[in-house]
C-alpha cells in the first residue's frame, strides 16, 4: 500500500502537501500500532484457550483408558452353597414360587463372592506366590463381587463350571499401572502392598490385566466404594433434566417478556423501573439465586431437596435476564422500515411482531438463548445451595429425584481423597461437559446460519 503511494506520489511542491504527508505518516503509525495490539490480544487469548484445552485433555484422556482384570471364575459349589435356582414344582402357586426365588437371590447376596474372586486371582498368579487375601483382592475393584454374582444369578447352570469374566481393576491398580503414583516411593507411602504391586506387574506382563476404553465413565453412576467404576451418567441426566426445564421455562417466558416490554408496553416510569431491574438482575451473583431457590422453592413451596426440578427453576431465574436483554436488543435492531411496511399494509401490532419482526430476529434470539442455556449448564454455585452436591449413586428417574449435575460432579470429584485417580476423572468430566457445550454452541451457529440463509 505504502509502496503504491510512493510510486504514484506527486513531488511535494509546497508546505501544505508536506503537512498532509506528515499527518498521514502519523495516522498510518497509529493504525499499525492498533492492529498490532489487536493481533497480540487475539494471540494471547488463543494461547490461553490452547493451554487450557491441552492441560485438560492431557490429564483427562488417560481417564478414558481403564485397566481390566481378566478372571477365570470357578463357581465352586463349596463356596456357592445356595444350591441351584428354584424350579417351579407342579401345583406351586405364583406366590410360593416367587418367595422361593427371592429367598434364593437373598442367599446369593449373603455369600462371600470375594472368595471366588480371590481363588481366581490366586490361580492367575504364579504358583506359590506369597500374598495375603486382603492384598490380592485390592487388585480388583470392589464391585467385582457384584459382577460375578450377577453373572451367576443370570445363569445358575454355571455352578461347578469355570467361565471367563472381565472385572475392573481397582483405582489403586490403575494408579500403579498408569504411573499416577511414583514407583520409587517407600512402601509406607504406597497405596498397595509390595506383593500386590509385584503381582500386578506380573499380570500385566502375562496379559491377565489389559487396558481398554473406559465406557464405565459414561455408562455408570458415581461410586465411592468402587472409585474405578464411578461414572457420569447420573450427573448427565441431572444436567439434562435441568436443561430441559430451563429451555421449557426460560425461553418462552424470556422471549415473551422481551417482546411485551419492547413492542407493547407503554413507556412509563413502571416499565423503566422494570427495565433497570432486569438489567440489575443479570448482574446478580449466581450463588444468590441458589439462596433464593433454597428459600422459596424448597422452604416455602416444599419442593424436594437436591432435585433437578429446583435446580432447573433456579437456573431459569438466572438465565431469564440474559435472554430478555438479548431479545430486546435484537428487536431494537430491526429496521423501522420493516415495521412501517407492515403497519402501512394494515397489519395489527401483533401481526407486525409475529409475521415480520420476530422472523427477522429469530437467529439472534436463538443464539442468545443457546448461549444463555449453555451458561446455565456450566453453573455450579447455585446448585450447591439447593443440595445438588449430595452423593447420588443412581440415575434420576424424574426431575423430582435426587441428582447431581455435571459441573457439580466435577466439583465433587475434584475434592475426592484419591487424588491420583480422581484428577484424571475430574478432567475427563470437564471434557464431557465441554463437549456438551461445544455441541450446544455448534447447534447455535448452525441454526443461525441456516435461518439467516432462509431469511
Partner 1 sequence: MDVMAGKVKMTQMSANSAMNPTDMLQRPIRLHAKDVTVSYGAKQALHGISIDIPDRAVTSFIGPSGCGKSTFLRCINRMNDTIEGAKVGGLIELDGENIYDPALDVVELRARIGMVFQKPNPFPKSIYENVAYGPKIHGLVKSKTDTDEIVVSSLRKAGLFEEVKDRLNEPGTGLSGGQQQRLCIARAIAVGPEVILMDEPCSALDPIATAIIEELIDELRENYTIVIVTHSMQQAARVSQKTAFFHLGNLIEEGVTEDIFTNPVNKQTQDYIMGRIG
Residues near partner 1 (CB under 8 A): 267, 337-348, 351, 355-356, 359-360, 455
- Min dist CB 446 to partner 1, Å, is 21
| Shortest distance (Å) from residue 447 CB to partner 1 | 17
| Least distance (Å) between residue 353 CB and partner 1 | 13
Nearer to partner 1, 186 or 346 (CB): 346
CA dist 121 → 73, 127, 135, 362 (Å): 9, 11, 11, 62
Give the cell for residue 157: 447352570
Nearer to partner 1, 112 or 340 (CB): 340
**Chain-centre distance for alpha carbon 143:** 24
- Cβ-Cβ contacts under 8 Å for 445 (sequence gap 6 or more): 367
Q: What's the CA gap between 127 and 115, in Å, rounded? A: 18
- Residue 331: CB minimum distance to partner 1, A: 15
Least CB distance to partner 1 at residue 450 (A): 15
**Quick one: 129 or 354, whose CB is closer to partner 1?**
354
CA distance 270 to 145: 66
**Contact partners, residue 32, CB within 8 Å, separation at least 6:** none
Q: Work out how close the CB of 292 gets to partner 1 at its nearest, in angstroms, rounded to a whole number.
A: 36
Phi, psi for 62 (deg, rounded to 5): -60, -25
- CB nearer partner 1, residue 56 or residue 360: 360
The DSSP element (H or E) to which 432 belongs, if any, is helix 419-454
List the 162-168 sheet strands across, edge first: 162-168, 65-74, 209-213
Closer residue to partner 1 (CB): 204 or 447:
447
169, three cell numbers:
481393576
Comparison of 16 and 267: residue with beta carbon closer to partner 1: 267
> Between residues 133 and 359, which has the closer beta carbon with respect to partner 1?
359
Q: Scanning the structure block, which residue is given the C-alpha cell 402357586?
A: 93
Residue closer to partner 1 by CB (options 18, 348) is 348
Q: How far is the CB of 366 from partner 1 (least distance, A)?
A: 17
Decide whether 219 or 340 has the Cβ nearer to partner 1.
Answer: 340
Going 185 to 187 to 188 to 190, the CA torsion angle's sign is positive
Residue 65, number of CB atoms within 10 A of its CB: 14
Q: What angle do CA 86, 89, 92 make, to 5 degrees?
A: 105
Instruction: Supply 344's cell numbers.
Output: 402501512
Cell of 230: 464411578
- Name the residue among 262, 245, 255 with its Cα closest to residue 333: 262
C-alpha dihedral sign at 161, 162, 165, 167: positive
Amino acid at each position: 500500500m505504502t509502496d503504491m503511494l510512493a510510486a504514484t506520489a506527486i513531488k511535494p511542491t509546497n508546505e501544505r502537501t508536506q503537512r498532509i504527508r506528515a499527518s498521514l505518516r502519523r495516522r498510518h503509525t497509529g493504525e499499525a500500532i492498533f492492529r498490532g495490539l489487536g493481533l497480540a490480544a487475539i494471540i494471547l487469548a488463543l494461547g490461553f484457550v490452547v493451554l487450557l484445552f491441552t492441560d485438560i485433555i492431557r490429564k483427562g484422556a488417560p481417564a478414558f483408558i481403564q485397566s481390566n482384570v481378566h478372571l477365570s471364575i470357578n463357581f465352586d459349589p463349596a463356596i456357592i452353597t445356595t444350591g441351584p435356582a428354584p424350579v417351579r414344582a407342579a401345583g406351586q402357586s405364583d406366590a410360593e414360587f416367587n418367595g422361593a426365588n427371592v429367598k434364593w437371590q437373598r442367599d446369593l447376596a449373603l455369600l462371600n463372592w470375594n472368595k471366588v474372586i480371590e481363588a481366581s486371582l490366586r490361580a492367575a498368579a504364579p504358583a506359590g506366590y506369597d500374598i495375603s487375601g486382603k492384598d490380592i483382592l485390592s487388585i480388583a475393584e470392589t464391585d467385582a463381587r457384584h459382577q460375578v454374582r450377577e453373572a451367576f444369578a443370570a445363569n445358575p447352570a454355571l455352578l461347578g463350571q469355570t467361565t471367563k469374566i472381565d472385572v475392573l481393576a481397582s483405582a489403586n491398580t490403575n494408579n500403579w499401572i498408569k504411573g499416577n503414583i511414583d514407583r520409587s516411593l517407600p512402601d509406607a507411602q504406597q497405596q498397595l502392598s509390595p506383593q500386590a504391586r509385584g503381582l500386578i506387574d506380573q499380570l500385566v506382563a502375562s496379559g491377565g490385566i489389559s487396558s481398554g476404553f473406559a465406557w464405565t465413565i459414561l455408562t455408570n453412576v458415581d461410586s465411592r466404594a468402587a472409585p474405578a467404576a464411578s461414572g457420569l451418567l447420573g450427573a448427565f441426566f441431572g444436567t439434562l433434566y435441568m436443561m430441559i426445564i430451563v429451555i421449557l421455562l426460560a425461553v418462552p417466558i424470556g422471549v415473551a417478556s422481551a417482546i411485551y416490554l419492547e413492542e407493547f408496553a407503554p413507556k412509563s416510569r413502571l416499565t423503566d423501573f422494570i427495565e433497570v431491574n432486569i438489567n440489575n438482575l443479570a448482574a446478580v451473583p449466581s450463588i444468590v439465586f441458589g439462596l433464593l431457590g433454597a428459600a422459596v422453592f424448597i422452604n416455602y413451596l416444599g419442593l424436594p431437596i437436591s432435585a433437578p426440578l429446583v435446580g432447573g427453576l433456579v437456573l431459569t431465574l438466572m438465565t431469564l435476564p440474559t435472554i430478555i436483554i438479548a431479545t430486546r436488543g435484537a428487536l431494537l435492531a430491526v429496521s423501522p422500515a420493516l415495521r412501517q411496511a407492515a403497519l402501512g399494509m394494515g397489519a395489527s401490532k401483533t401481526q407486525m411482531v409475529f409475521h415480520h419482526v420476530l422472523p427477522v430476529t429469530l437467529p439472534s434470539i436463538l443464539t442468545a438463548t443457546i448461549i444463555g442455556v449453555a451458561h446455565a449448564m456450566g453453573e455450579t454455585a447455585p446448585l450447591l445451595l439447593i443440595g445438588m452436591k449430595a452423593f447420588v449413586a443412581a440415575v434420576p428417574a424424574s426431575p423430582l429425584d435426587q441428582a447431581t449435575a455435571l459441573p457439580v460432579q466435577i466439583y465433587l470429584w475434584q475434592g475426592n481423597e484419591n487424588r491420583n485417580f480422581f484428577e484424571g476423572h475430574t478432567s475427563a468430566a470437564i471434557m464431557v461437559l465441554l463437549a456438551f457445550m461445544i455441541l450446544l454452541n455448534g447447534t447455535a451457529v448452525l441454526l443461525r446460519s441456516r435461518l439467516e440463509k432462509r431469511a
